[in-house]
Amino acid sequence: MRGLLIALAAATLTFTAAPAHAAEPPRTGFEQTGKWTTQDEEQAYLKALGLPVTQIGTTAQGRPVQLVRVGPKARTVVLFICSQHGDEPSGREACLIAMRDLPRRAGVTYLFVPNANPDGRVANTRGNSAGIDINRDHLQLQTAEARAMAAVIRDWQPDVIHDLHEFGPSAPYYVKDVLWLWPRNLNAQQDVHDLSESLSRSYVKPAVEAAGRTSGVYGIYVDPVTGEPVRQVAGDHQERILRNTAALKHSTGLLLETNVTGTPRKRVYSHLIAVDGTLKFVGEKRSLIERANALSRAVRSGPVYFGGADNQPPSPGQVDANPPCGYVLTAAQFTQIGDELALHGISSQYLRGGDRIVPLKQEARALIPLLLDARADGELVAARPVARC
């Protein structure tokens, strides 16, 4: 795991291009010049690496959204989503370096979406070319970028998802070097939630702090004197945010943010340290991760939550203690959202007359009410709940 950090340290002591030698591995534009890797440099670098690259989507401006696989197809899958926000480039740079230098481990496949927002990266904007925040689109799937990632999660069923971002400080509270956060949505299976929190607190936190970085929980202002939480500033429970959507789709994971006020090298280096923490977590907890994700996929019962978080109790009106057996979609509704349901891996059954029923008794149970119930914050349509299927 130290190879990631050693490689970056060696490559960025000076940002001058070294003479080319046949034995030298490819280097990113950032490693060679200290400037963010361009789109053309990224494509040339990926080609030089010789890793399997699949185009999983195309942006509105015609740029490819790509998936890079490191290692053979294996039982355990770790997915890195890099720079969903185009003006947060250091995660992308860290992913490009990591896919070259991370140590291979038997039984583990590493997947990278190295540039999750190509149009936004070129324009240096948070959103994509339509101004949509991709990290708020993992439920409704309006964007080509979010749709591409949904297909990857459906088809590869990753055990761990590591989502790389950056944040701007807000003194005197939001001033750490690195912030991290696990899925807080109450519909996440408990073991998936607990392992995700452990990934943040027990692996990424010690890794970045051992390297001399300060770190803390993302989304909460903390009084610098008392250390007490002041207020929440992030959508803790929102199912449309990737870290929550991923947990509802049975993946352990975290959101990782580095501070944009650091030097470019420090920002990229901090991400690589955090990646090391995730690699250690996977190495030590593989069996527990696989067990938790299998439990999450198993047919479950229990209440459905339309609000609240693990640090914020839901109101009584946000809890359905006796959820329906399923939801009935009219033929018109199914025509409207059938593609999105398929991308989410949700199955339905044909009813006489052309309607469809989406039973809760399937792997996607935790997600279905949030997509089809009128009480949800961001439902695709308000379908009709039914007590019997």
Q: How far apart are CA 366 and CA 387, in angstroms?
A: 17
Neighbour count for residue 51 (Cβ, 10 Å): 15
Q: How far is CA 330 from the centre of its chain?
A: 32
Question: What's residue 3's pLDDT?
Answer: 56
CA-nearest of 275, 274, 127 to 215 is: 274
Could you tell me where the DSSP H helices lie in the chain? Answer: 2-11, 29-33, 39-49, 90-101, 118-123, 144-156, 190-198, 205-210, 242-248, 264-297, 331-343, 368-372
**Cβ–Cβ under 8 Å, residues 184 and 311:** yes
Region of poorest pLDDT, from 146-160, 220-234, 374-388 = 220-234
Question: What's residue 170's pLDDT?
Answer: 82
Question: What's residue 13's pLDDT?
Answer: 33
Residue 16 has pLDDT above 90, yes or no: no
CA-nearest of 152, 134, 125, 123 to 84 is: 134
Q: Quick one: what percent of the chain has pLDDT higher than 70? A: 94
Question: What's residue 233's pLDDT?
Answer: 76
pLDDT band at 18 (very low <50, low <70, confident <90, very high): very low
Question: What's residue 162's pLDDT?
Answer: 98
Question: What's residue 21's pLDDT?
Answer: 52
What DSSP state is assigned to residue 86? T
Point out the residues that are catalytic: 257
Question: What's residue 5's pLDDT?
Answer: 59
Local structure of 94: helix, strand or coil: helix
Domains by residue range for the chain, with CATH: 2-297 (3.40.630.10), 323-386 (no CATH)
Q: How far apart are CA 146 and CA 152, in angstroms?
A: 10
Residue 22 has pLDDT above 90, yes or no: no
List CB contacts of 304: < 8 A, sequence separation 6 or more: 187, 319, 320, 323, 369, 373
Residue 12 has pLDDT above 50, yes or no: no
Per-residue model confidence as pLDDT tens digits over 150-182: 999 999 999 999 999 999 988 777 889 999 999
Residue that wins the pLDDT comparison between 90 and 13: 90
Per-residue model confidence as pLDDT tens digits over 295-346: 999 988 999 999 999 988 999 999 999 999 999 999 999 999 999 999 999 9
Q: How far apart are CA 22 and CA 19, in angstroms?
A: 10
Residue that wins the pLDDT comparison between 203 and 219: 203
Q: How far apart are CA 306 and CA 315, in angstroms?
A: 9
Per-residue model confidence as pLDDT tens digits over 236-255: 779 999 999 999 999 999 99
CA-nearest of 91, 147, 152 to 278 is: 91
CA-nearest of 115, 164, 108, 111 to 281 is: 108
Question: What's residue 223's pLDDT?
Answer: 81
Q: How far is CA 338 from the centre of its chain?
A: 24
Whole-number average pLDDT of the chain: 93
Question: What's residue 220's pLDDT?
Answer: 83
CA-nearest of 291, 307, 296 to 75 is: 291
